[in-house]
Amino acid sequence: MFRRTHFLLALATTLIAANVSSATAQTPRIDPRVATILDNVSQDSLHAYLAKLVSFQTRNAMSVSDRPDWGVKAAREYIMHTMQSFSPKLQVSLDCYDVDQQGRIMQPTQLCNVVAVLPGKSARRIYISGHYDTVARQANGRFDWSKWDNPAPGADDDGSGTVLTMESARVMAQSGLDFDATLVFMAVVAEEEGLIGASLHAAKAAKEGWRIDAVLNNDMVGNVEGNDGITDSRTVRVFSEAPTDSPSRQIARYIKRWAAVYVPSTVIRLIAREDRFGRGGDHTAFNREGFPGVRFTESLENYSRQHIKDDTLGGVDFHYLTRNTRIDDAVAATLALAPPAPDVMSERSHQPMLGRGESGYDAALRWQASPGAAGYRVVWREAWTPDWQYEVNVGNVTEHTLPNVSIDDYVFGVAAVDADGHESVVAAYERQPRARTNVRQEGGGR
């Protein structure tokens, strides 16, 4: 009996291994039109934008002034007018909110994001963002939120993310491509005061029922040297929120997959955390409203130059910043050209459409068709593994069975693919938690 059981287990393992070995990861196709967008990213333009932003001396959210050469108002006017000059297709406006005194906002004020919209064929939105406001500590090393006029050039934090957003708007708007998704480029205000600009915009998006498929937030993406002298000009970190198969984690995996195709000189380091330990960024404001989003951040932060007057152009490596801009653009363009991700949830049960097949030992997957899809890519991985390990292109169908692949031992997903090979993010088959069972005890207790 023991030998027969051992033999059957070995045979099952062999069958599973044979099945998955024929479906190892495939290299995605390069779209020459996307490659052209990346080629058009200009290091000189990034430098010019950032030099101008730094020249305003501070972009503290409270530094409102009518001076054309100083403060946050002058900075946002420059960002808005510069993006308006890129293309008549780009709809650029101020997204303003009147905010009462609260927290780090020391007096009633008007806060304005700068939003540039490149309309697509559909209403689903993909964001590229960076915050343009700055803050600097006082001479004693402490923050005084009532002192908003001390020098705070913020070249890396977050002028780098802001100019990445601006240059992305330029190359996308001038590409001539007809994107399916609407692309939104947003320079965000009052991040330093507690993600205020992003929170107000995300709350409006949730209230008005916008569909946001991805937020690519860029915060400090230009520095390559830590204050310990170690340098890293090849790696960029991508932070994404839990759980393991959240939509934000699917964006992170997507970034790693497509960056390897279009910008192979850069290493994407995925961090399974919504942000740096104990810290936050504007993407988390969108996460709180139920929208998927991630944060790009340089590999090595230079803590000795953060939130002080010495965060200047000299701390920014523009070759590194240019490559990070190309990563954002490769991901955003591919996502915007691709169909939306398929829906894998049952309308009746609100659970994923994943079963055991007729044999009880197969993985039977079903999904709803995605508009514009020419086919689908089924992916799976061992349940203790973070990255997709296996994949198979299954054609233009809405169901597929993987023989001898246990739904107990593997995690599954499916992506929609158009005729040109552009892929959506993966929709994962993630079962919703079981409802809590309340058991009555004698006497009315639980």
User: How many angstroms separate the Cα of 198 from the Cα of each of 63, 95, 215, 307?
Assistant: 19, 10, 11, 20
Per-residue pLDDT, 349? 76
Encode pLDDT of 412-434 as tens digits.
Answer: 999 999 999 999 999 999 987 77
CA–CA separation, 244 and 60 (whole Å) = 36
The reply to whether omega before 158 is within 30° of 0 (cis) is yes
CB 104 within 8 Å of CB 119: no
Phi-psi region of 303 (alpha: psi -120 to 50; beta: other; left: phi over 0): alpha
Task: Determine the Cα–Cα distance for residues 347 and 283; give it in Å rounded to an integer.
Answer: 29
The secondary structure element, H or E, covering residue 267 is: strand 267-271
- Band (437; pLDDT cuts 50, 70, 90): confident
CA dist 58 and 309 (Å) reads: 9
Hey, how many other C-beta atoms are within 10 angstroms of the C-beta on 265? 9
Q: For residue 250, which of 218, 291, 205 has the smallest C-alpha distance?
A: 291
Mean pLDDT estimate for the chain: 93
Question: Hey, what are 446's tokens?
Answer: 């639980």
Mean pLDDT, residues 178-191 taken together = 98
Give me the count of residues in the chain: 446
Helix (H, G, I), strand (E, B) or coil at 432: coil
Question: How many Å separate Cα 376 from the centre of its chain?
Answer: 22
For 369-399, how does the pLDDT look when each residue is reduced to its tens digit (9 = 90+)?
A: 999 999 999 999 999 999 999 999 999 999 9
pLDDT tens, 304-314? 999 999 999 99
CB under 8 Å to 290, separation ≥6 — which residues?
Answer: 206
Rounded distance between C-alpha atoms, residue 224 and residue 323, angstroms: 12
- pTM for the whole thing? 0.93
With beta carbons less than 8 A apart as the criterion, state whether 410 and 381 touch.
Answer: yes
* Cβ proximity of 289 and 205 under 8 Å: yes
CA distances from 156 to 87, 299, 310 (A): 27, 13, 10
Three-class DSSP category at 216 = strand
- Which pLDDT score is estimated for 25? 60
Q: How far does Cα 352 stand from its chain's mean position?
A: 24
Judged against a pLDDT cut of 80, whether residue 5 lies above it is answered with: no
What are the structural domains, with CATH classification, of the chain?
12-28+341-428 (2.60.40.10), 42-337 (3.40.630.10)
Residue 170, both tokens: 């330029």
